[in-house]
Structure 1
Amino acid sequence: MRLPISFGRNGALWFGVTGLLFAILFYLADVDELLSSISRADPQLFAVAVLVGFSSLLVWALVWYRYFQRMGIDTTVSRTVRMFLTGHFLNSITPLGQFGGEPIMAYIISNNTDTDYERSLACVISADILNATPFFTFTLGGLLYLAVMGSIEGLLVDITILSVLIVFVGGLLAYLLWSDNDALGAAITRLLTAIENRFGRAESLIRSLKERVDRIEDAFQEAGSDPRFLLTTAGVSHLAIIAQIASLYFVLLSIGIEPDFVPLYLIVNLSVVATLSPTPGGSGTYEVAFSALMTLFFPVGLATAVTAAVLFRLTTYWPGLLVGYVSMLTLQGRPTPERAD
């Protein structure tokens, strides 16, 4: 399956930033001490953490499948999981993918189901909005708890402000996409009309873009037309965060830390803000934020904190890349009657 991906100079830059962040973090943690700490991890407990952590990806794939069923996209659970993991792989290795990986995922869906691109795009963005919702409901809940306890200060103040801003922007975007007031589509159409009037050429291209905007808008309005479906599906996606909290519990047990629930809850949910950085998959920035939160909530040194960050990512992030790459190799375009899924 050929995919429209090109890293270019900006891509190389962000890969370089990721490598630099890891180098600085490992240097500060003392590489020898870090490797020693990783080698002492209990392999059985870590194996449990991997299985539990990977299940969070399957929950997000289930949300995709529910949306496919809702939007009338004909596919199987197996193919949905493979499409999701392929999208996860490409989204994670592509710089700025966290800000725009959905078009690539929509391409994968339309290329492997009998569905047009506009409908696929509306489906995948809507599903990803619901999959992102738990991070911020849990995060705001945790920050509210800290506020009541009078423990919000320093780094947590910045995280609070950023989280509230993201929730506001995300909520506004979801409303504009799913609402039937046509405000977003009308604004884009006016912009296209202004471009057409300004340059007085490419009329057929502008007309084609307007038609595509109308189709995408209709698909989004259908995707967000059932509030009960949105609530129940968002409820399902919360299971993924619970799985990640459980995974971190076993990771910390494997390196000899007896964790309490509140720090686990806060570390998993607060560190996710760092994945919104432009580095591939939030790599580097996520590990830095996670390590800082570990030292904030647990009386551990930086080497132990970085060990926890690395091992946790090995349960919830890196396995998805490996399986996602294999999944990408199994997708060969639209299924045909002659070819079994």
Structure 2
Amino acid sequence: MARENLRATLIGFAATLAVFAVLLYTAGIDDLVTQLTTADPRYTGLVFLATLAWLAAWGGALRTVLGVLGVELSRIRSFLVFCGAMFSNNITPFGQAGGEPVTALLINRATDTEYETGLAAIASVDTLNFVPSITIALIGAGYYATEVTLGRRLEFALGAVGVLALLVPSLVYVGWTRRYELEHRVIDALIPAIRAVARVVPRVSVPTADGLESRITGFFRAIERVAANPRGLAFALALSSLGWGLQMAALWFAFAAIGEPIAFSIALFVVPIGAIAGVTPLPGGAGGIEWTLAILIAAASPAVGFKIATAGVVLFRGFVYWTPVVLGGAVVGTTGAGSRV
């Protein structure tokens, strides 16, 4: 299993490198290097500070949700645990969907809480992060539309956001109202699959249907506890919104650093749309997010153009992607070695 996971990860990073190679070739490597090497260090420093503040804000949202579930976590530890969560998301395919199980294990080891409680906490935070992202994107697009005429690419992107704003909450609602029916279906599907794996890997133990049902029920009950605390939800939602605002500020600072500032209203809607591109087979959406952001910014600001847009996006993503990878990698390595963060 570990060998298969390693192979999948290596294939994912190889695909990412290929996507980046095409992006850099299209944008022009020489021009890109010139833009990045002559970037204003003052604004570059602000990109880094905004990135750290974003991680702290979303780490605070995780701390709030864990507090609702009765798990105490200091601000520093919540920051480090969330960096570890982002590390997991950035090295696994399909964004949060691929990183959540690993993140739940990290929370389990860092706080000595049950695995399903950690999974419920990070799932709740990811769900809360979705709400302000779509709202801010629609507000930013609406404001931008009052200033200029939207092109076809932007109309398509914003139309997709509108569909997601209706579709995702509807699917979550239907899934939640039928959660216990889904629970039995998941158990019926998982037990045979685990038994098949156990035949090949003797060390894998096969859980009983009752044991698996107990864990899934524990996960649902943890979600219910979070949903039943409106004060905690509101505070976590405010921190999530702050985190999105800091990411947008980081993007704006990145373009100011290369001497090509963009309207802040553009950052309001392109950052959430770019995050949607993270749900791809590429690790952390790397490559796909850069392409999406560069295309949208070039379409929204023709004076900037695709080459300059790519330079600003690469600077922005260089901090937003690699800062949590470096910090979170250290956290995951330390926690995996048996120490607590």
TM-score (norm 1): 0.85
2:278–2:284 CA contact under 8 A, matched in 1: yes
Greater CA deviation, 94-103 or 28-37?
Answer: 94-103
Q: Quick check: 1:218 aligned with 2:221? A: yes
Of residues 104, 107, 112, the one that matches 2:105 is 107
2:319 corresponds in structure 1 to 315
Change in CA separation of 1:216 and 1:18 when aligned onto 2, cut-off 3 Å: same
2:165 corresponds in structure 1 to 167
1:195-241 deviation line (CA, Å, top 9, x unaligned): 989xxxx9972222222222222121112112343233212211112
2:94–2:283 CA contact under 8 A, matched in 1: yes
CA RMSD of aligned residues (A): 2.9
1:206 alignment partner AA? A
Question: What is the CA-CA distance between 1:268 and the residue it aligns to?
Answer: 2.3
1:159–1:273 CA contact under 8 A, matched in 2: no
2:137–2:270 CA contact under 8 A, matched in 1: no
Change in CA separation of 1:52 and 1:91 when aligned onto 2, cut-off 3 Å: same
Q: Quick check: 1:139 aligned with 2:143? A: no
2:43–2:256 CA contact under 8 A, matched in 1: yes
1:30–1:303 CA contact under 8 A, matched in 2: yes
1:68–1:75 CA contact under 8 A, matched in 2: yes
Aligned pairs (5 A) from 1:289-308: 289-298=292-301, 299-308=303-312
1:326 alignment partner AA? A
CA distance in 1, matches of 2:22, 2:257: 25
CA distance in 1, matches of 2:26, 2:52: 29
Change in CA separation of 1:6 and 1:91 when aligned onto 2, cut-off 3 Å: farther
1:24 alignment partner AA? V
Aligned pairs (5 A) from 1:88-107: 88-107=86-105
1:143–1:152 CA contact under 8 A, matched in 2: no
CA distance in 2, matches of 1:303, 1:285: 16
Question: What is the CA-CA distance between 1:250 and the residue it aligns to?
Answer: 1.9
2:236 corresponds in structure 1 to 233
Change in CA separation of 1:196 and 1:92 when aligned onto 2, cut-off 3 Å: closer
* Consecutive unaligned residues in structure 2, runs of 5 or more: 193-204
Question: What is the CA-CA distance between 1:326 and the residue it aligns to?
Answer: 2.1
Of residues 35, 56, 59, the one that matches 1:58 is 56
Q: Quick check: 1:185 aligned with 2:188? A: no
Question: What is the CA-CA distance between 1:265 and the residue it aligns to?
Answer: 2.0
1:327 corresponds in structure 2 to 331
Change in CA separation of 1:134 and 1:194 when aligned onto 2, cut-off 3 Å: closer
User: What SS does the aligned partner of 1:100 have?
Assistant: helix
Aligned pairs (5 A) from 1:117-156: 117-145=115-143, 151-156=149-154
Question: What is the CA-CA distance between 1:166 and the residue it aligns to?
Answer: 2.9
Change in CA separation of 1:203 and 1:42 when aligned onto 2, cut-off 3 Å: closer
CA distance in 2, matches of 1:194, 1:251: 47
Question: What is the CA-CA distance between 1:193 and the residue it aligns to?
Answer: 5.6
Change in CA separation of 1:300 and 1:204 when aligned onto 2, cut-off 3 Å: closer
CA distance in 1, matches of 2:49, 2:211: 47
Change in CA separation of 1:35 and 1:77 when aligned onto 2, cut-off 3 Å: same
1:338 corresponds in structure 2 to none
Question: What is the CA-CA distance between 1:334 and the residue it aligns to?
Answer: 6.8
CA distance in 1, matches of 2:159, 2:339: 44
The percent identity for this pair of structures is 28
CA distance in 1, matches of 2:339, 2:45: 36
CA distance in 2, matches of 1:36, 1:254: 13
Question: What is the CA-CA distance between 1:11 and the residue it aligns to?
Answer: 3.1
2:191–2:207 CA contact under 8 A, matched in 1: no
CA distance in 2, matches of 1:211, 1:300: 55
User: What SS does the aligned partner of 1:268 have?
Assistant: helix
Greater CA deviation, 321-330 or 305-314?
Answer: 321-330
1:158 alignment partner AA? F
Question: What is the CA-CA distance between 1:31 and the residue it aligns to?
Answer: 1.0
2:198 corresponds in structure 1 to none
CA distance in 1, matches of 2:273, 2:236: 22
CA distance in 2, matches of 1:159, 1:272: 12
